[in-house]
Amino acid sequence: MPAASTPLSPPALTEPAEVDAATAASRPVIGRRAAHTSLRGVLGDSLRMFDPRHEIRQPVMFTVWVLFLFILVLTLFPRAFPDIAASYNPAYYLAISLILFLTLWFSHLGSAIAEAQGRAQADSLRQIRGGLRARRIQGDGAAVWTPSQELKLGDIVEIHAGEPVPIDGDVTQGAALVDESMMTGESQPAVRESGGDKTSVLGGTQVIQGTIRVRISATQGHSFLDRLIQLIENSGREPTPNELALSVLLASLTIALITVIGTFVYLADFTGVVRVNIATLVALFVCLIPTTIGALLPAIGISGINRVSKANVVAKSGKAVEAAGDLDVLILDKTGTITIGNRLAVQFLPAPEVPLAELLSAAMLTSSLDDTPEGKSIIRLAARRGAPAQRLEPGSYDLLPFSSERRMSGIRLKNGIEAFKGSVAAIEAYGAALPPELRTATVEASRQGMTPLVIAMNRRALGVVLLKDVVKPGIKDRIRELKTMGIRTIMCTGDNRLTARAVANEAGVDEFIAEAKPETKLEVIQREKAKGRLVAMSGDGTNDAPALARADVGLAMNSGTGAAKEAGNMVDLDSDPTKLIEIVSIGKQLLITRGALTTFSITNDVAKYFAILPAIFVTSAGVVLAGIQSFNVLGLSNPNLAVLATLLFNALVIPLLIPLALTGVRFRPRTAIDLLRRNLVVYGVGGLVSAFVGIKLLYLLLAYLSSSPVAQAAAAGVAHFLPIGGL
Partner 1 sequence: MFPLASLVDVALLIALVLAIAPWFGAYLGRVYLNRPAFGDSLLTPIESWIYRLLGTSPRQTMRFKEYAFALLLTSGVLFVWMYLILTLQSGLPGNVLGIPNMSWDLAFHTTASFLTNTNFQHYNPQSSLSLWGALLSLQVALFLSAGCGLSVVAAFIRGFTRKDGTLGNFYVDLVRTMTRVLLPLSLLASVLLVLLGLPQTFTTYVTAHTLGGGAQTLYLGPVASWQAIDLLGTNGGGWYAANAAMPYANPSAASNLVETGLMLLIPLSTPFAFAEIVRRPGEGLPFVGTILAVLLVAIGLFLLFQGGPNPSLAGLHGLTQNSLGFPTFGMESRLSLSESSAFQVVSIYTNTGANNLAIGSLNPLAQGVLLFGMFTQSTPGGVGTGFGMLLVFAVIAVFVGGLMVGRTPEYLGKKVGKEQMRWSAGLLLLHPALVLVPLAIAILGGFVVFSGGIASHAYLFTSVLYEFTSESANNGSSLGSLADNTLFFNLVGGVVMLIGRFYPMIGMLAIGSIFAEQEVLPPGPGTLRTRSATFTIYLTLLLIIISALLFLPVLALGPFAQLGF
Active site residues: 333
Measured from the CB of residue 656, what is the shortest distance to partner 1 in angstroms? 20
From the list 419, 485, 645, 658, which residue makes contact with partner 1 (rule: CB under 8 A)? 485
Q: Is 632 in the site for partner 1 (CB under 8 A)?
A: no
Return the closest-CA partner of residue 633 out of 579, 689, 560, 717. 689
From the list 488, 497, 501, 550, which residue makes contact with partner 1 (rule: CB under 8 A)? 488
CB 128 within 8 A of CB 204: yes
CB 290 within 8 A of CB 253: yes
Burial 406-419 (b: 16+ CB within 10 A, else e): eebbbbeeeeeebb
Nearer to partner 1, 363 or 695 (CB): 695
CB 172 within 8 A of CB 159: no
Residue by residue, DSSP assigns 341-392 as EEEEEEEEEEPTT--HHHHHHHHHHHHTT--SHHHHHHHHHHHHTTPPP---
Residue 346: half-sphere exposure toward Cβ, Cα within 13 Å: 15
Burial 430-461 (b: 16+ CB within 10 A, else e): bebebeeebbebbeebbeebbbbbbbbbeeeb
Strand pairing class (535-539; 329-333): parallel
Q: Is 253 in the site for partner 1 (CB under 8 A)?
A: yes
Looking only at residues 590 through 609 of this chain, which bind partner 1 when binding is defined by CB under 8 A?
591-592, 594-596, 598-599, 602-603, 605-606, 609
Q: Is 307 in the site for partner 1 (CB under 8 A)?
A: no
What binding mask, one character per residue, do residues 639-678 give for partner 1 by CB under 8 A, x or -? ----------------------------x---xxx-xxx-
From the list 628, 711, 714, 719, which residue makes contact with partner 1 (rule: CB under 8 A)? 628
From the list 619, 663, 708, 712, which residue makes contact with partner 1 (rule: CB under 8 A)? 619
From the list 114, 176, 441, 487, which residue makes contact with partner 1 (rule: CB under 8 A)? 487
Measured from the CB of residue 327, what is the shortest distance to partner 1 in angstroms? 9
Measured from the CB of residue 248, what is the shortest distance to partner 1 in angstroms? 5
Question: Interface with partner 1 by CB under 8 A: which range of 112-120, 611-619, 633-641, 694-702?
Answer: 611-619
Instruction: List, as own/partner pairs, every contact residues 15-19 make where C-beta atoms lie below 8 angstroms and the sequence separation is at least 24, other chains included.
Output: 16/161, 16/209, 16/210, 16/211, 17/160, 17/161, 17/162, 17/209, 17/210, 17/211, 18/161, 18/162, 19/161, 19/162, 19/208, 19/209
From the list 416, 626, 725, 726, which residue makes contact with partner 1 (rule: CB under 8 A)? 626
Question: Interface with partner 1 by CB under 8 A: which range of 120-128, 198-206, 239-247, 335-343?
Answer: 239-247
Question: Interface with partner 1 by CB under 8 A: which range of 382-390, 454-462, 478-486, 638-646?
Answer: 478-486
Q: Is 582 in the site for partner 1 (CB under 8 A)?
A: no
Residues in a beta bridge with 343? 469
Strand pairing class (418-422; 408-413): antiparallel
Phi, psi of 448 (to 5 degrees): -85, 10
Nearer to partner 1, 381 or 592 (CB): 592
Nearer to partner 1, 134 or 274 (CB): 274
Cα-to-chain-centroid distance, residue 126: 21
Nearer to partner 1, 438 or 602 (CB): 602
Q: Is 473 in the site for partner 1 (CB under 8 A)?
A: no
Q: Is 622 in the site for partner 1 (CB under 8 A)?
A: no
Nearer to partner 1, 214 or 297 (CB): 297
Looking only at residues 678 through 717 of this chain, which bind partner 1 when binding is defined by CB under 8 A?
679-680, 683-684
Measured from the CB of residue 598, what is the shortest distance to partner 1 in angstroms? 5
Q: Is 274 in the site for partner 1 (CB under 8 A)?
A: yes
Nearer to partner 1, 78 or 595 (CB): 595
From the list 20, 170, 328, 481, which residue makes contact with partner 1 (rule: CB under 8 A)? 328
Q: What is the DSSP letter of 317?
A: -
Count of helix runs (H) and strand runs (E) in the chain: 26, 20
From the list 2, 486, 659, 723, which residue makes contact with partner 1 (rule: CB under 8 A)? 486
How many residues of this chain interact with partner 1, rule: CB under 8 A? Answer: 76
Return the closest-CA partner of residue 89 out of 611, 641, 617, 612. 641
Residue by residue, DSSP assigns 38-83 as -HHHHHHHHHHTTSHHHHTTSHHHHHHHHHHHHHHHHHH-GGG-GG
Nearer to partner 1, 224 or 649 (CB): 649
Looking only at residues 308 through 327 of this chain, which bind partner 1 when binding is defined by CB under 8 A?
322, 325-326
Crossing angle of helices 318-326 and 579-616, rounded to 10°: 90
Q: Is 623 in the site for partner 1 (CB under 8 A)?
A: yes
Measured from the CB of residue 694, what is the shortest distance to partner 1 in angstroms? 18
Compute CA distances 161 → 17, 29, 224, whole Å: 6, 21, 22
Question: Interface with partner 1 by CB under 8 A: which range of 62-70, 421-429, 460-468, 610-618?
Answer: 610-618
Nearer to partner 1, 39 or 626 (CB): 626
Q: Is 271 in the site for partner 1 (CB under 8 A)?
A: yes
Burial of 188 (0-12, 13-18, 19+ CB in 10 A): exposed
Nearer to partner 1, 288 or 426 (CB): 288
Question: Interface with partner 1 by CB under 8 A: which range of 201-209, 452-460, 616-624, 635-643?
Answer: 616-624
From the list 30, 94, 112, 246, which residue makes contact with partner 1 (rule: CB under 8 A)? 246
Looking only at residues 149 through 178 of this chain, which bind partner 1 when binding is defined by CB under 8 A?
none
Nearer to partner 1, 105 or 617 (CB): 617
Question: Interface with partner 1 by CB under 8 A: which range of 172-180, 272-280, 308-316, 692-700?
Answer: 272-280
Measured from the CB of residue 282, what is the shortest distance to partner 1 in angstroms? 14
Q: What is the DSSP letter of 683?
A: I
From the list 86, 249, 693, 716, which residue makes contact with partner 1 (rule: CB under 8 A)? 249
Nearer to partner 1, 101 or 683 (CB): 683
Q: Is 481 in the site for partner 1 (CB under 8 A)?
A: no
CB 536 within 8 A of CB 584: yes
16 contact partners, CB below 8 Å, separation of at least 6: 161, 209, 210, 211
Return the closest-CA partner of residue 664 out of 723, 721, 610, 594. 594
Phi, psi of 462 (to 5 degrees): -90, -25
Measured from the CB of residue 296, what is the shortest distance to partner 1 in angstroms? 14
Strand extents, DSSP E, 121-270: 133-137, 143-147, 156-159, 169-179, 190-193, 200-201, 206-216
